[in-house]
Structure formats: C-alpha cells, structure tokens
C-alpha cells in the first residue's frame, strides 16, 4: 500500500514541478523555475522510495 502512495505522490510532484518550470521559463521568473525544479526532484525521490518499498515488500 505504501508503494503505490509514494509513487502516486511522486508522479504528482513531478508533474507540478514540470508545470512550474515551464511557467517560470515562459515568464522569465527564476524563482518559480527553481521551485519547480526542486519539486520535480522531490517527486523523483518519492517515486524511487515507492520502488524500493515495492522491491522490499513494504518493509521499509
């Protein structure tokens, strides 16, 4: 159960981060672009956490 939750949150954060990056680039807003990049990285980490949980059988 934790695996799916982490992966879902990860995908959502990656998508939101990509959107923020695109808007930041389009409006030349460096702060928003950087915030989006950080959120995308957070999503990637959550996704990885979900994969590890899946490989270990949610014993993490």
Mean pLDDT of 34-51: 96
Q: Give the pLDDT score at 59.
A: 60
What pTM does this model have? 0.84
Q: Angle, nearest 10°, between helix axes 30-56 and 2-26?
A: 160
Q: How confident is the model at residue 2 (pLDDT cuts 50, 70, 90)?
A: confident
Q: How far apart are the C-alpha atoms of 22 and 37, rounded to whole Å? A: 10
* Averaged pLDDT score across all residues of the chain: 92
Q: pLDDT tens, 8-28?
A: 999 999 999 999 999 999 999
How many CB atoms are located within 10 Å of the residue 49 CB? 18
Answer whether 11's CB lies under 8 Å from 40's CB. no
């Amino acid at each position: 159960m934790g695996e799916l939750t982490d992966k879902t949150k990860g995908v959502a954060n990656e998508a939101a981060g990509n959107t923020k990056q695109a808007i930041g680039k389009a409006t030349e807003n460096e702060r928003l672009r950087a915030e989006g990049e950080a959120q995308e990285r957070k999503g990637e980490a959550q996704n990885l956490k979900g994969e590890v949980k899946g490989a270990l059988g949610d014993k993490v």
